[in-house]
C-alpha cells in the first residue's frame, strides 16, 4: 500500500476529488458525466470536519449524532435524481447536514433553479452555510438560488414547493405526507424507509398525481426524528 497512498495524500483537494470520482465510476456508482462533474466541482473536503478523510468512501460523523453519507451514497442519489435536477428546477434536501449534497443540487439546477436544504440542528445549518461559502456553490448562496434553513425536515419547506427532486438524508418509518404533498407531478423523491432494516426508496409522482415506489438498495441511515430525540445522549 505505502508509497502510492502517501503520494495520494500529498495531492491537492481537486486531485483527490477527481480520484474519488474515478473510483466511483469504476464501481459503477457514477454513470453519467453530469454527476461526475458536480462531484468533482463540489469538494467534499470543504464539508467534513477532518479534511483528509473526506475522500474515503465511507460515512463520517459530523457531530450532534449526525453523519455525512459515504460518497457512493451521494453518487447513487445524484444519479437517481439527475433528470429532476435540470437547470431551472426546484430541489429539496431534507436533513442537509454539512450542506454538501444541497450544494451539488444547486450546481445542477443553476441560478434560475432553487436548491433548499432543511436541517433541524441550528449549529449544523450555521456551519453548512460557512462550508458552502468556501465552495464552488458560494455564488449561488449569495444569489439566493441556494438556501439552508433551520426546520423540521419532516414538514418539508412549503415556500419553494412543489419540488422536482426531494432527497431525504435520514430514515423514516414511513414517508412523511408533507413531503409527498410537496413533490411535483412528474417529480421524484429518494428516501430511506424503515427502522433497523432500511431500503432506499425511489418515489415517483406521475403526472396524474398517482405515486409509484420502488426499492433501490438496502441502506443504513440515522433516523429522521425530532431534534430532541436526535440530541439525546449526545
Active centre residues (catalytic): 69
Q: At what angle do helices 13-26 and 71-81 cross, to 10 degrees?
A: 70
Torsion sign (Cα): 166, 172, 175, 181: negative
Contacts of 46 (CB under 8 A, 6+ apart): 13, 131, 134, 135
By the 8 A CB rule, do 24 and 71 touch?
yes
Cell matching residue 130: 460557512
Rounded CA separation 169/206 (Å): 23
**Nearest-5° angle of CA 111, CA 180, CA 178?**
90
Amino acid at each position: 500500500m505505502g508509497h502510492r497512498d502517501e503520494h495520494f495524500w500529498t495531492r491537492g483537494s481537486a486531485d483527490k476529488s477527481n480520484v474519488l470520482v474515478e473510483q466511483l465510476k469504476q464501481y459503477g456508482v457514477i454513470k453519467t458525466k453530469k454527476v461526475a462533474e458536480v462531484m468533482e466541482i463540489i469538494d467534499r473536503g470543504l464539508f467534513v470536519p477532518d479534511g483528509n478523510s473526506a475522500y474515503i468512501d465511507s460515512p463520517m460523523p459530523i457531530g450532534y449524532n449526525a453523519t455525512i453519507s459515504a460518497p457512493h451514497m451521494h453518487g447513487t442519489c445524484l444519479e437517481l435524481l439527475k433528470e429532476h435536477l435540470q437547470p431551472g428546477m426546484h430541489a429539496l434536501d431534507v436533513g442537509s447536514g454539512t450542506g454538501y449534497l444541497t450544494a451539488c443540487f444547486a450546481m445542477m439546477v443553476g441560478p434560475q433553479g432553487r436548491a433548499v436544504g432543511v436541517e433541524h440542528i441550528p449549529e449544523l445549518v450555521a456551519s453548512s452555510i460557512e462550508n458552502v461559502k468556501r465552495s464552488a456553490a458560494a455564488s449561488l448562496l449569495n444569489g439566493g438560488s441556494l438556501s439552508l434553513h433551520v426546520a423540521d425536515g419532516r414538514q418539508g419547506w412549503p415556500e419553494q414547493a412543489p419540488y422536482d427532486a426531494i432527497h431525504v438524508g435520514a430514515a423514516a418509518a414511513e414517508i412523511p405526507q408533507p413531503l409527498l404533498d410537496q413533490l411535483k407531478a412528474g417529480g421524484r423523491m429518494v428516501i430511506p424507509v424503515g427502522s433497523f432494516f432500511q431500503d432506499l426508496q425511489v418515489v415517483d409522482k406521475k403526472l396524474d398525481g398517482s405515486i409509484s415506489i420502488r426499492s433501490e438498495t438496502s441502506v443504513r441511515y440515522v433516523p429522521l426524528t425530532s431534534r430532541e430525540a436526535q440530541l439525546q445522549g449526545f
